[in-house]
Amino acid sequence: MKKKLLFITGTRADYGKIKSLIKITEKTKKFDCGIFITGMHTLTKYGYTADEILNSFKQYRLKNGLRRIHIFNNQQNLDGMDIALSKTIVGLSEYVKQFKPDLIIIHGDRIEAMSASIVGILNNIMVAHIEGGELSGTVDEMLRHSISKLSNIHFVANLKAKKRLIQMGENKKTIFNIGSPDIDLMLSNKLPKLKNVKKKYSINFKKYCILIYHPITTDIKHTQECLIPIIDRIKLKKENFVIIYPNNDYGNEIILNEYLKIKMLKNIRLLPSMRVEYFLTLLKNSKFVIGNSSCGIMETPIYGVPSINVSNRQKNRYKTKSIKSFEFPKKKEFYKCIENFYTNHTRFKIRFNYGSGNSDKNFLKVILNENFWKIKNIQKIFNEI
């Protein structure tokens, strides 16, 4: 019988991480795949990106009377992260009883991944965690390590992450280094052309930079403090910015309120969300990325694009020469950095710190191996070093 794989996605970011894995797995016709869509994907405020997934996987809608793509709204606008987590547990619990997966596949450090790991472990379903063992900062890192401890299988992005999971007591036989799956898309020759991206999203700038800034959930007062210097620079009207909405964590309204104040400026294009492939083309051709998103740490070095990292949200991430960090921006030095990257066509040596673009093949090789399905790790034990 075919093994059933259930992929969980709650944000535009984690969907970019799992899309290539779903595609290559389905092509083998040796697995039945399902997708549980929730989180930001189901909110009209962020463009209801569930439709993007539905259109990409139309063949998933029904099979033998079972809906293989399931959309579940896990939150209202005023719901806290804890409420969204609890609702996700309820919704996913009901769906796994219908789909009966052999393996639940989750990514990263979001509450949707945490919910899925809890549902899996309490229903004796194996859980595979993608990109565990990473360091970042704030509540994200605590969630990621907790999810790793609730997961049975680990698909890591590099050897440093593998080493950290072993240090956390995980069995090295359950850890597979496949690289970061979104690099598969980043290096694809099927990305849309820049002119098509600009047309689709009404971006009229010849040159531009990208701003993505998320709430600092463990230090809300510094969310605004670190954002204001960026907003002040934008008001000078020297650089063009494509600004993408923050994630839906606690504190996002603070950021959105600041964006609404500058929304009508001629050098601003404010977008709730973007399709993954379109965003990657925009990223590849940008002057630089600014903010505190992980894409400014993990993705920009793949294209050699400069990144200005602001706040302590990604404090412990892997750093390279292309990334300039300002935990609390000093105006003179900060503005000089922005002007330098924007005026000059600065590009850095490409770095592959998180894999080299064949994660989907590495993933498939692992799950096609019969020994993988013989791993008995539902009842985990702590492995002493």
- Note the pLDDT tens digit of each residue in 186-230: 998 889 999 999 999 999 999 999 999 998 877 787 888 889 889
The pLDDT value given to residue 316: 73
Residue 382 in any domain: the answer is: no
Please indicate, yes or no, whether residues 199 and 301 belong to a single structural domain of this protein.
yes
Please indicate, yes or no, whether residues 239 and 135 belong to a single structural domain of this protein.
no
Cα 373 to Cα 78, 101, 102, 175, 347: the distances in Å are: 42, 13, 9, 14, 44
The pLDDT value given to residue 66: 61
Please indicate, yes or no, whether residues 143 and 198 belong to a single structural domain of this protein.
no
To the question of pTM greater than 0.85 for the whole model, the response is: yes
Please indicate, yes or no, whether residues 156 and 256 belong to a single structural domain of this protein.
no
Please indicate, yes or no, whether residues 226 and 325 belong to a single structural domain of this protein.
yes
Domain holding 206, by residue range, is: 194-343
d(CA 12, CA 6): 17
Is 237 strand, coil or helix? coil
Residue 384 in any domain: the answer is: no
The pLDDT value given to residue 357: 85
CA 322, 323, 324, 327: dihedral to nearest 10 degrees?
A: -170
Low-confidence stretches of the chain (pLDDT beneath 70): 59-66, 318
Residue 381 in any domain: the answer is: no
Q: Residues near 121 by Cβ (< 8 Å), separated by ≥ 6? A: 127, 150, 151, 152, 378
Residue 244 in any domain: the answer is: yes
Please indicate, yes or no, whether residues 165 and 17 belong to a single structural domain of this protein.
yes
The pLDDT value given to residue 13: 86
* Burial label, 248 (beta-carbon count in 10 A; 0-12, 13-18, 19+): buried
DSSP 3-state percent helix, strand, coil across the chain (nearest 5): 45, 15, 40
CA 143, 145, 150, 156: dihedral to nearest 10 degrees?
A: 120
Q: Residues near 173 by Cβ (< 8 Å), separated by ≥ 6? A: 375
User: What does 18-29 look like in DSSP terms, one character per residue?
Assistant: HHHHHHHHHHTT
Please indicate, yes or no, whether residues 148 and 126 belong to a single structural domain of this protein.
yes
Are 5 and 102 in contact, with CB atoms under 8 Å apart?
A: yes
Residue 294 in any domain: the answer is: yes
Write the pLDDT tens digit of every residue in 314-369.
777 767 889 998 887 777 888 889 999 998 888 999 988 888 889 999 999 999 99
Residue 65 in any domain: the answer is: yes
The pLDDT value given to residue 311: 84
Please indicate, yes or no, whether residues 171 and 253 belong to a single structural domain of this protein.
no
The pLDDT value given to residue 162: 97
Instruction: Kindly report the backbone phi and psi dihedral angles of residue 310, in degrees, each rounded to the nearest multiple of 5, phi listed first.
Output: -115, 135
Residue 124 in any domain: the answer is: yes
The pLDDT value given to residue 60: 66
Sheet holding 268-271, edge to edge: 268-271, 241-244, 209-212, 289-291, 307-310, 323-326
The pLDDT value given to residue 277: 93
Is 156 strand, coil or helix? strand
Residue 33 in any domain: the answer is: yes
Please indicate, yes or no, whether residues 305 and 210 belong to a single structural domain of this protein.
yes
Q: What tokens does 291 get?
A: 């903010």
CATH number at residue 12: 3.40.50.2000
Overall domain count for the chain: 2
The residues that bridge with 211 in the sheet, in sequence order, are 243, 290
Please indicate, yes or no, whether residues 265 and 369 belong to a single structural domain of this protein.
no
Q: What tokens does 111 get?
A: 């509450």
A 10 A CB-CB count for 291 gives 26
d(CA 35, CA 274): 20
